[in-house]
Amino acid sequence: DAKTTQPPSMDCAEGRAANLPCNHSTISGNEYVYWYRQIHSQGPQYIIHGLKNNETNEMASLIITEDRKSSTLILPHATLRDTAVYYCIVRVPNSGGSNYKLTFGKGTLLTVNP
């Protein structure tokens, strides 16, 4: 079962920042937080991941709380093409155990409105 909780849907105005929350209150010390998104009818696309420090790349920023029980994915200037389902997943990246694979929940459907 997925170890994360996300709101089923969110709306955002085009050009504004989109802040997508994720709760992972049972996260273990060696589990990373991964974010993927899936645009309609396409395969999931990797966005970003982090352990405990905030991370930023060309697509988004990831803010992880100090206790690591929740995180927020930030799309700084959302566009219509960012409309997608966003998945928050916890995983141990360098493990041969059961956490090696990605376990998806239902994610958050982000709709960016013009």
Partner 1 sequence: DTGVSQNPRHKITKRGQNVTFRCDPISEHNRLYWYRQTLGQGPEFLTYFQNEAQLEKSRLLSDRFSAERPKGSFSTLEIQRTEQGDSAMYLCASTDTGYSTIYFGEGSWLTVV
Residues that bind partner 1 (CB under 8 A): 2, 36, 41-46, 49, 85, 87, 92-96, 100-107
> To the nearest whole angstrom, how small is the minimum distance from the Cβ of residue 13 to partner 1?
26
Identity of the residue, 74 or 92, whose beta carbon is nearer to partner 1 in the bound complex: 92
Identity of the residue, 27 or 85, whose beta carbon is nearer to partner 1 in the bound complex: 85
Identity of the residue, 98 or 114, whose beta carbon is nearer to partner 1 in the bound complex: 98
> To the nearest whole angstrom, how small is the minimum distance from the Cβ of residue 15 to partner 1?
28
User: In the 3-class helix/strand/coil scheme, how is the chain assigned residue by residue?
Assistant: CCCCECCCEEEEECCCCEEEEEECCCCCCCCEEEEEEECCCCCCEEEEEECCCCEECCCCEEEECCCCCEEEEEECCCCHHHCEEEEEEEECCCCCCHHHCCCCCCCEEEEEEC
